[in-house]
Amino acid sequence: MAVLAPLIALVYSVPRLSRWLARPYCLLSALLSAAFLLVRKLPPLCNGLPTQREDGNPCDFDWREVEILMFLSAIVMMKNRRSMFLMTCKPPLYLGPEYIKYFNDKTIDEELERDRRVTWLVEFFANWSSDCQSFAPIYADLSLKYNCPGLSFGKVDVGRYTDVSTRYRVSTSPLTKQLPTLILFQGGKEVMRRPQIDKKGRAVSWTFSEENVIREFNLNELYQRARKVARAGDSTVEQRPSGPEGEDKKVK
């Protein structure tokens, strides 16, 4: 039974496994978890292992290991999470290039209000969330492609700044599945967010892929519009008279 329960949890999550198995850290997690079962059940690897079984058989689970496996399997199935071997290894933190401004509980409001001509796409995340860690390289790549004077990208850690999560109505509870949340601000005001929230406060299922973010937030259109506004602003500055001569012409 201790082996059957994890297998049931694995079969239950098979439709979502393919995209995770392609990632190195998930493959490593699977190998580490499978290694425990192989070492405990496969002679002669298990012959030298300690055991608390009454019959002294080292090639079978003792009562303590059975309880641990059953407990972990119950958690996996109740929370409808990915299979157990995918939970043992979190995605690595992203440390690559990005064009993102990080906010705290004070600077986020100041920056949104500082220049209302700037459109902001802000990610509300938490470092403990594996979904946020998986989305980090995608968001960083989007910032490198679309950042310009009129379109900026930001992030704020709502796991650390809990008052920010309250102000912007982003729940940090794992049960609501609201992390990460992307909010688009124009004129200092929220105009849309993903994922959307249902009446029960749970996030509507939405895939955080690069294609979905570009399509849902119209990043191509926002980018072109921001570039035009920036060019128009530069032209106005160049045509404006400056210095004493310009002031004299205005007086005349």
> What is d(CA 92, CA 26) in angstroms, rounded to the nearest whole number?
10
pLDDT at 3: 52
3-state secondary structure of 190: strand
The answer to whether residues 76 and 10 touch, using CB atoms and an 8 Å cutoff, is no
pLDDT at 43: 79
Q: What stretches of 115-218 show up as alpha helix (H) in DSSP?
A: 130-146, 162-167, 210-216
What predicted TM-score, i.e. pTM, was given to this entire model?
Answer: 0.62
The answer to whether residues 83 and 143 touch, using CB atoms and an 8 Å cutoff, is no
> What is d(CA 28, CA 34) in angstroms, rounded to the nearest whole number?
10
pLDDT at 83: 40
> What is d(CA 236, CA 216) in angstroms, rounded to the nearest whole number?
32
Q: Which of these CATH numbers, 3.40.1110.10, 3.40.109.10, 1.10.357.20, 3.40.30.10, describes 101-235? A: 3.40.30.10
pLDDT at 236: 54
Q: What is the CA radius of gyration of the chain?
A: 26
Q: Which residues of the chain have pLDDT under 50?
A: 1-2, 80-89, 237, 242-252
The tally of CA atoms less than 13 A away on the side-chain side of residue 233 is 10
pLDDT at 237: 45
Question: Domain-by-domain residue ranges, the chain?
Answer: 59-89, 101-235
pLDDT at 190: 97
> What is d(CA 106, CA 167) in angstroms, rounded to the nearest whole number?
12
pLDDT at 68: 76
pLDDT at 57: 74
Bridge partners for 101 per DSSP:
154
> What is d(CA 177, CA 206) in angstroms, rounded to the nearest whole number?
10
The tally of CA atoms less than 13 A away on the side-chain side of residue 40 is 16
pLDDT at 243: 44
Two tokens at 198? Answer: 């249902």
